[in-house]
A and B are shown apart, each in its own frame.
Chain A
Amino acid sequence: MGKDQHTDWDVLIKGLWRENPVFVAVLGMCPTLAVTNTAINSLAMASATFFVLVFSSLFVSLLRKVIAKQVRITTYIVIIATFVSLVDMLLAALVPDIHKELGAFIALIVVNCLILGRQESFAAKNKVGAALMDAIGMGLGFTIALLMIGIVRELLGNGSLFDIPIFGTSFEPWIIMILPPGGFFTLGFLLLLFNAVALRRAKANAITS
């Protein structure tokens, strides 16, 4: 029993860092970079994706023995699209302001390759418990990545964090960071940072061993 728990934890943890969907696998870029211009928008987008990912994984894992092989991708997409429609309506009812700002990009969660990728490579082959753990881990990893991008962009582009001014009035905001190029730059430099750390670690390991 103890061993099972260990592997469950491992499934959860790997999504956070070692196999982080954004920084390591570079998945799910398309509908997400566009809305990470502030920390709040990033959080909203990440929570919506998290919700869809967890529930889709749950259902795909439950139905894994019923779904015919030939139509599996279509089935996954229908399941994902159902939950995205739900999230879209939920956000419109609960937080209409944020929903308006995110616009069509909420609907575009359907084509987030991260979600379909997890269904195909994990949820369809594993028991419900493990599938849920994997979805939660990946969802959290995605949330961390999006928040990092959103925080950098809002801090530099607006001098604030979650709409609270940080740098005071003498700070000249870098408007470009809130605009589309800022999304590319922020993710580019974050990836660069990750690569540099990984390379340095690999080099250190090579020397010690």
Chain B
Amino acid sequence: MAQELLWIFISALLINNFTLTYFLGICPFLGVSNKVDTALRLGLANIFVMIITAVAAWALNTYVLIYAPYLRLISFIIVIASTVQFVEMAIKKWSPELFRALGIFLPLITTNCAILGLALFATNKGYGLLEGIVYALGAGGGVTLALILMAGIREETRVLDIPDAVKGTALSLIVAGILSMAFMGFAGMFSAA
């Protein structure tokens, strides 16, 4: 069991990295990640929302959606968005420090494709509660890792002399492609086990 959970975690973190192999959460990846510090906080907020999402998706799947599977998409979106909002209010009240650290990213992340993607993939794979949470941790960690790597590279490229046509999104995408290629190397890591 523990081995299986570890496998789920590593697979979501490195091999099937949400950002670099599923293209989920590309918008903040290309738009926001200019500073390593911001990237780290955005990543932490992402992990946080993902864990809530995994629990919410599991609860919906087990108790509600067996009666009405065609409502899956609509209920996922509404329940996840409102749960996050609710938890955000709770954190604001009980732990202002944590709230400040996560900052404005919490509400933004809710509409991020990585969140809905996590809920859908966890459903398709038939994960239970514990597996879902581990999957969320791995996926969130993977997104954080990608954000930090990208932010670090972008910090470096700011001082370089780059042709005008390549500046901006084009450069970010090409860098992302190279990162994605590097992450493909992880695919062979566990095939022997």
Question: What residues make up the interface of A, taking CB atoms closer than 8 Å to B?
Answer: 26, 29-34, 74, 77-78, 81-82, 84-85, 88-89, 103-104, 107-108, 110-113, 116, 176, 179-185, 187-189, 191-192, 195-196, 199
Contacts and interface: CB of A to CB of B under 8 A. Distances in A.
A117 B168 CA distance: 21
Interface stretch (B25-33, B38-46, B152-160): B25-33
B192 interface: no
B86 interface: no
B83 interface: no
A192 B168 CA distance: 9
Say whether chain A's binding surface is mostly helix, strand, loop, or mixed.
helix
A184 B71 CA distance: 33
A141 to B, nearest CB: 17
A147 B176 CA distance: 21
Interface in B161-180: 164-174, 176-178, 180
A188 B177 contact: yes
User: On chain B, which size bracket covers the interface?
Assistant: 35 or more
B62 interface: no
B111 A111 contact: yes
Contacts of A103: 124
Given A34-B22, A104-B124, A188-B170, A181 B73 contact: no
B70 A85 contact: yes
A29 B73 contact: no
Given A111-B116, A195-B164, A199-B164, A89 B70 contact: yes
A34 B23 contact: yes
A28 to B, nearest CB: 9
